[in-house]
A and B are shown apart, each in its own frame.
Chain A
Amino acid sequence: MRFLTVVLQHTCRNMLFTWKSQIMTLFTVSLSVLIFSFFYLIYSNALHVGQELGNDLRLIVYLDEDPSPAMQEQYQMKILKFDQVDRIEFISSQQAFKRFEQQLGDNRDVLTGVPADFLPPSIEVYPVRSLDNLSRIKRFSDYLQTLPGVLKVQYGKEWIERFFSFIQLMRVVILLSGSLLIMTTTFMVAHTIRLTLLSRQQELELLRLVGATNNYIRMPFLLEGALQGLLGASCGIAALLLLFNWIKLQFAGPTTLTLLPFTFFPWPVILSIIGIATLLCAAGSFSTTRRILQL
């Protein structure tokens, strides 16, 4: 208990002593967390949107003739051999015609005189609903194209490709902003701790001479780093929440944004970001303390 009190006292003293650098560090950590979490928020929402859109995703494999039950079994086996799917439906020419009729509704008269088997039979393949599966759609489509009796394979090729380009871009941006977060938090905190250590070198030397343990000397600096991470990350997340609410307010109304499920981070993600930033800052502080004090 006494140890904790002493550590807290020393930490507060350190932070007051170098309050200017503390504010600078806090600002940098906040900004890094804000940049990273901003892109991560976009990415996670994009993934969510992808999942929502993926619910309607299916590959339509047009065949040259209605497959016999044995052929249907063969097709099913070959499709499952490539990947797991949610379900496979065989649509005969007749069923396709009926569907088309229903879709036309009151305009079904246009089909008068048209033979009931003018539409080709098809297989509707519903892939498992996950984004990973979406990324394999193209390969899946290429594979289905090679099956015997297949005329054409159709899916929302264009939007899927655009969507995945966007997801890929977001991944790169997140990687970069994550690296920025790691670098700034670690280096800035390390720099501030270094300044504190140098400004208090005389006292630290004295502490060693009067019999202070390594932990007694080190702990206040570790705590200082962790506090910078905790406060900086909390401020960054708070700023992002403000920004998020502002954007939602700006785009309130009949826009595309309101149609998409655009949500803020759930609590576990918020706590993870704050926790990781805190750990990174503590690590930066630890390495500097270790190097300068040679503990």
Chain B
Amino acid sequence: MEQSIRPVSLKSFPPGAPFEKKQLCAYGPISETSIPPLRSESMSQETHHPDVMIDLVKVTKVYPPDVQAISDISLTVAKGEIVFLTGMSGAGKTTLLRLISRIEKPTKGMVEVAGFDIAKLPQRNIHQLRRKIGMAYQDFKLLPERTVADNIAIAMEVVYRPPSFIEKRIRALLDQLDLVRKYATPTGELSRGEQQRVSIARAVANFPEIVLADEPTGNLDAETTGKVMNLFHQLNCQGTTILIATHDQSLYQRTSHRIIELRFGRLRSQVSDPPEENSEEEAASSLFPSSEA
């Protein structure tokens, strides 16, 4: 009998409380032995709760001269959780993701990610945090003159993955995102939808502990959106924490995952109860519309 996708169910998850992930993965976990270990660089300040992956306490970000992007936000995301960040344009979703990946520093408050207090993280050690995070950017951040494979490989090259591993991983990801034929195409020659998928592939290529996706399906059709969401779910099954900033209501409308709404830089609401009337299979199919699993 085929296993169905069961999204993570978070019932009134209190900040700091251990997150119990009891779910079945339609894909099954990727064998740990198939992923070569990275060089040991354990500098993480393990003072935080081991089950909390992202912890924001009263965080404010003001851009000069006086633009308040986010204001007084407190948020806790558990290890292995999927969270949807929603809100209008300019609500502060991207700023929040940039704070988490330490592209920006908070003006006030504390941001702790994977055990790193990012305000205290020195410049020379930022790579340790960034290696735990895979980010799919809204503007893709691709190198247009380099091929699809090269763009994805960058994330793995910086951690010295063996070339054979990189090659295999790229092919698997392209296969999953329906981009195999574009393997050697310069990304500058791709459509926006294809570029978006390359950006997502690069974000997840290195099996990061956290995936931050900024409008990951903004340029995708329903079928491709399903493929992308399947990929996220597959990673989530292995314990990856995923934050998706999106406008696309179809992604989170019937999901059981936590939905956080931002409005004018403030936390508007958090919804984490799954729709009771839906079966888990229905929930999965609503979240991943094209899932064949």
Contact = CB atoms under 8 A, between A and B. Distances in A.
Interface stretch (B74-82, B150-158, B268-276): B150-158
B160 A2 contact: yes
Interface string A1-45: 011001000000000000000000000000000000000000000
A207 B154 contact: yes
A209 interface: yes
Most buried by B among A6, A210, A212, A295: A210
B159 A211 contact: yes
A6 B126 contact: no
B130 interface: yes
B124 A206 contact: no
Nearest to A10: B157
A295 B124 CA distance: 8
A206 B154 CA distance: 9
Nearest to A9: B157
Interface residues of A, number: 17
A213 B160 CA distance: 11
A208 interface: yes
Interface residues of B, number: 23
Interface string B119-142: 000011011111101010000010
Contacts of B154: 206-207, 210
Interface of A is mostly: helix
Contacts of A6: 157, 160
A202 B140 CA distance: 12
Nearest to A3: B160
Nearest to B41: A213
5 contacts: A202-B141, A202-B143, A209-B135, A210-B202, A211-B159
Interface of B: 101, 103, 123-124, 126-131, 133, 135, 141, 143, 154-155, 157-160, 162, 202, 206
Q: Across the A-B interface, give the 7 residue pairs with the lowest CB-CB distance, nearest first.
A: A211-B131, A211-B130, A212-B158, A2-B160, A210-B155, A211-B127, A213-B127
